[in-house]
Amino acid sequence: MTDFDKKLILILLLSAALLFGLKFIPSHAEAGIAKVELQGKTVGKYNLSSESGKTVSINLPNGIAQLEFKDGAVRMLPMSVTVCPRQICFHTGWISRSGETIICIPNQLVVRIITGNNRIDAVTR
């Protein structure tokens, strides 16, 4: 392997690392909105940047769900197993990017992050 080959491989690896790292740099895009739907109806919209540090309660048929907002993200706080037996919505964790969702199927609750610049990434026929 020549010196030129080594330099070329190094340049390619550095370029790949740079492109991969760009994915994790926060963009200055429009702040996200957490849209909360219960049984198919919108029950609230919360701006992720202005709700930081707040907790919002949502009345469910079997109890109460709580959403926690922090640093431009939202998550579902733990509920009792009588309200949400498998706790999948809680284990989803923090969401902050457009298109991410938290879904609680037993309560028909959906929390979806939306922004004004939602773009279609694919079309199927």
- Whether 124 is in a domain gets the answer no
Nearest one of 108, 106, 54 to 77, comparing CA atoms? 54
For the chain, the domain total comes to: 1
Higher pLDDT, 123 or 67: 67
Tens digit of pLDDT for each residue in 62-120? 889 999 999 889 999 998 888 888 888 889 999 988 889 999 988 899 999 998 655 55
- Whether 22 is in a domain gets the answer no
Confidence at residue 30, expressed as pLDDT on a 0 to 100 scale: 59
The CATH number given to whatever domain includes residue 45 is: 2.60.320.10
Q: State which residues form the domain around 100.
A: 33-114
Confidence at residue 10, expressed as pLDDT on a 0 to 100 scale: 92
- Whether 102 is in a domain gets the answer yes
- Whether 54 is in a domain gets the answer yes
Confidence at residue 82, expressed as pLDDT on a 0 to 100 scale: 87
- Whether 119 is in a domain gets the answer no
- Whether 68 is in a domain gets the answer yes
- Whether 109 is in a domain gets the answer yes
Higher pLDDT, 31 or 79: 79
Instruction: Confirm if 108 and 40 have CB atoms less than 8 A apart.
Output: yes
Phi, psi of 104 (to 5 degrees): -115, 100
The pTM assigned to this predicted structure is 0.68
Nearest one of 52, 44, 26 to 114, comparing CA atoms? 44
With cut-offs at 50, 70 and 90, classify the pLDDT of residue 22.
confident
- Looking at every residue in the chain, the average pLDDT score rounds to 85
- Whether 62 is in a domain gets the answer yes
